[in-house]
Structure 1
């Protein structure tokens, strides 16, 4: 969501086909920090704030496309909400599902590119998700919330690695160089994942509701985030250090 020619047989044994769930205490600190923010914010919204206070938080920090229509004054929230919306969730089912996928796909990516690059990756893919949502719904009044756009970006990055995992250091990380597009298209695992991912997004777009919640699933944001992670991954890769 194949291995490069010339790879030694011994090296291949270090790679696994797909990411497995990491034990929670073995998750990278940056992933735990994002999860902590999402969970903490949702608990405060649910159990501490009044409905009116929660509405005020939602208006300011969720991404609402019509805010940019010219009908409203552009304030500081217009610049921050394309990023902060990813830390809000529509309900506990929405939150739990996203945290599971964040742990599964975010951990090997964070171990690969490092904490700072991961944080920027999360922000940039979330911004791309909001941007596509805006393009399709420029006058939309429904608030966009949730980390699934950024998580879709992590899935896109995983596809570029054809889900190769290196566990030799004791921490799962995506392995090898990101595959060129032609190799991704030749990878049965990557193409199967892409096909399943597209079908699931189409189905959820048609059904439109998270189980147990009333909020709509923003499939457009998922596609925007996935595309940003898939095509932009190389921008976040660490540059190899020159030999001394």
Structure 2
């Protein structure tokens, strides 16, 4: 916990110190993290192998479901969204939740809860859409929130990672930058270059040991592209410095 030094008001009286919490996550971010953790706990400790197979078959995204004559049932309709709440292990879950807190919090603070949920849906669908286009006959279940989080990273680049903390919480500051301004931002371009290299290394499996799980890097790029090019569609009508709307 951090403390601000005492300040005097106009009459010379000392104002009380304002304490700021170390963790100040928006409620929508806490909710998403809570859902992902709860789902993982149920899969690992509450149910058995048969339930795990049921979860993957009905809630993970399986491209083959859409190209091999499967019936149009509820999982056919919902798995392009529900896959984002499943994770392959504790490490996968932990990394995604850390990045969700880091990039999702300033975005949620800026655009508000309702728009953030719509942004999550759009980036989740964008991620799974590109994965499907490139792997339409894949029978391997796709799980994880990485596509949506990559979309948040793409959105952050459109703000050139500018953060406004004046209101007591961190939110992206300023308007969504034109593409030309992003290209002129050293910070944004450095981040984009590093992000693309990391995804290329992951996609090619460089440095991965035998038996390492495959990474759906195409889904990362799909989500990133949606967040980068369409974040402006989720902005509130008034695009000032960083007003919160929820």
Q: Which residue of 2 aligns with 1:126?
A: 124
For the Cα contact (< 8 Å) 1:61–1:77, is it kept in 2? yes
Following TM superposition, by how much is the alpha carbon of 1:178 offset from its aligned partner in structure 2, in angstroms? 0.6
Is 2:80 aligned against 1:77?
A: no
For the Cα contact (< 8 Å) 1:94–1:213, is it kept in 2? no
Name which of 26, 29, 32 aligns with 2:24.
26
Following TM superposition, by how much is the alpha carbon of 1:107 offset from its aligned partner in structure 2, in angstroms? 0.3
Residue correspondence of structure 1 range 184-203 to structure 2 within 5 A? 184-203=182-201
Distance 1:188 1:119, change over 3 A: same
Q: Which residue of 1 aligns with 2:115?
A: 117
TM-score, structure 2 as length reference: 0.86
Give the alignment's Cα RMSD to 1 decimal.
2.0
Following TM superposition, by how much is the alpha carbon of 1:220 offset from its aligned partner in structure 2, in angstroms? 0.1
Distance 1:210 1:164, change over 3 A: farther
Please list every run of 5 or more consecutive structure 2 residues that lacks an aligned counterpart in the other structure.
1-19, 240-246
Following TM superposition, by how much is the alpha carbon of 1:215 offset from its aligned partner in structure 2, in angstroms? 2.7
Per mean C-alpha deviation after superposition, the further-off stretch among 190-199 and 203-212 is 203-212
Name which of 14, 25, 37 aligns with 1:39.
37
**Could you say which structure has the larger radius of gyration?**
2
Q: Which residue of 1 aligns with 2:166?
A: 168
Per mean C-alpha deviation after superposition, the further-off stretch among 74-83 and 221-230 is 74-83
Per mean C-alpha deviation after superposition, the further-off stretch among 137-146 and 67-76 is 67-76
Secondary structure of 1:170 counterpart: coil
Q: Which residue of 2 aligns with 1:135?
A: 133
Q: Which residue of 2 aligns with 1:238?
A: 236
For residues 104 and 213 of structure 1, the distance between their equivalents in structure 2, rounded to whole angstroms, comes to 30
Q: Which residue of 2 aligns with 1:147?
A: 145
Is 2:110 aligned against 1:105?
A: no
Instruction: List, as ranges, runs of 4+ consecutive aligned residues in structure 1 with deviation greater than 3 Å.
Output: 22-25, 208-214
Asked which structure has the greater RCO (Cα within 8 Å, sep 6+), the reply is: 1
Is 2:223 aligned against 1:225?
A: yes
TM-score, structure 1 as length reference: 0.86
